[in-house]
């Protein structure tokens, strides 16, 4: 009669397995081995069930490093906006732990990039405004002077005003104006003198906050009644 091995304890089964004569009782030996294998399988399944029941659901697991890396890429100047948006949307839609933290990282990245763009925009306009002269001086700087009117004293006066706008003070001499605007097609020769007279530049004198520019006129003498003056008086 074959014993009921199912009633044996695990320790008893191991002892019987070691003591039984396999050649004399092959069927009993196989039964013992089968019983042991069955118990081991049942124990493994029970352990797996216990592990699965104690492990937290996937949606409760914390955000991984990869997600935070994406959020960190969102702080790359001008190029990180897509990454910040992804991190923000991901953090708001996921049910996983720390999703709000990821959303916060994405939101901060967007705010940082917006502020950076605003600062660059403001700085750009400050530089542009600092370099841009008024309407009158821009016209002098960009437009060529008609060669027929190259001796116009008004053109020289406007270049002097443009020099003051750039340098913060009037030039000491007309030579400084010529050096500052080498491409300006303006003649500094005094055309108010009598024809045949020696070619000389307009008379220029600088005071502390103003200047005097004149042509000597037909008499060839400065500070006389026939002197030629700019149409627009110099700014004080």
**Model pLDDT for residues 199-210, shown as the tens digit of each residue:** 788 999 998 788
Tell me: pLDDT of 227 over 60: yes
Q: Model confidence at 71, in pLDDT bands (50, 70, 90)? A: confident
Neighbours of 115 (CB within 10 A): 10
DSSP letter at 203? E
pLDDT on residue 56: 57
pLDDT on residue 61: 65
Mean pLDDT throughout 142-156? 57
DSSP string for residues in 84-115: HHHHHHHHHH--SBTHHHHHHHHHHHHHHHHH
Tell me: pLDDT of 59 over 60: no
Mean pLDDT throughout 143-167? 73
Neighbours of 118 (CB within 10 A): 10
For the chain, give the percent of residues with pLDDT over 90. Answer: 18
Give the Cα separation of 213 and 192 in Å (integer). 13
pLDDT on residue 148: 33
Q: Model confidence at 110, in pLDDT bands (50, 70, 90)? A: very high
Q: How far is CA 91 from CA 59, 72, 75, 81, 87, in A?
A: 12, 13, 16, 15, 6
Tell me: pLDDT of 87 over 80: yes
pLDDT tens digits for range 48-58: 877 666 555 65
Q: From start to end of the chain, where are the E strands?
A: 203-206, 211-214
Selected residue with higher pLDDT from 112 and 139: 112
Give the Cα separation of 236 and 234 in Å (integer). 6
Whether 171 and 180 have beta carbons less than 8 Å apart is answered as yes
pLDDT on residue 23: 87
């Amino acid at each position: 009669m074959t014993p009921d091995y199912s009633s044996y304890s695990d320790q008893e089964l191991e002892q019987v397995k070691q003591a039984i004569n396999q050649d004399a009782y092959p069927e009993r030996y196989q039964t013992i081995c089968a019983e042991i294998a069955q118990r081991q399988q049942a124990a493994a399944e029970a352990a797996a069930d216990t592990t699965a029941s104690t492990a937290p659901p996937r949606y409760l697991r914390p955000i991984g490093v990869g997600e935070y890396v994406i959020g960190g890429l969102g702080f790359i100047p001008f190029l990180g906006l897509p990454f910040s948006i992804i991190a923000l949307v991901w953090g708001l839609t996921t049910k996983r732990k720390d999703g709000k933290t990821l959303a916060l990282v994405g939101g901060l990245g967007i705010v940082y990039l917006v502020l950076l763009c605003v600062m660059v925009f403001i700085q750009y306009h400050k530089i542009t405004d600092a370099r841009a002269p008024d309407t009158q001086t821009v016209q002098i700087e960009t437009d060529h002077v008609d060669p027929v009117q190259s001796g116009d004293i008004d053109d020289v006066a406007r270049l002097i005003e443009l020099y003051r706008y750039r340098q913060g003070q009037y030039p000491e001499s007309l030579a400084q104006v010529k050096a500052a605007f080498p491409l300006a097609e303006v003649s500094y020769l005094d055309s108010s003198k009598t024809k045949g007279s020696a070619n000389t530049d307009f008379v220029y004198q600088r005071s502390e906050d103003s200047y005097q520019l004149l042509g000597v006129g037909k008499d060839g003498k400065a500070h006389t009644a026939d002197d030629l003056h700019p149409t627009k008086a110099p700014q004080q």
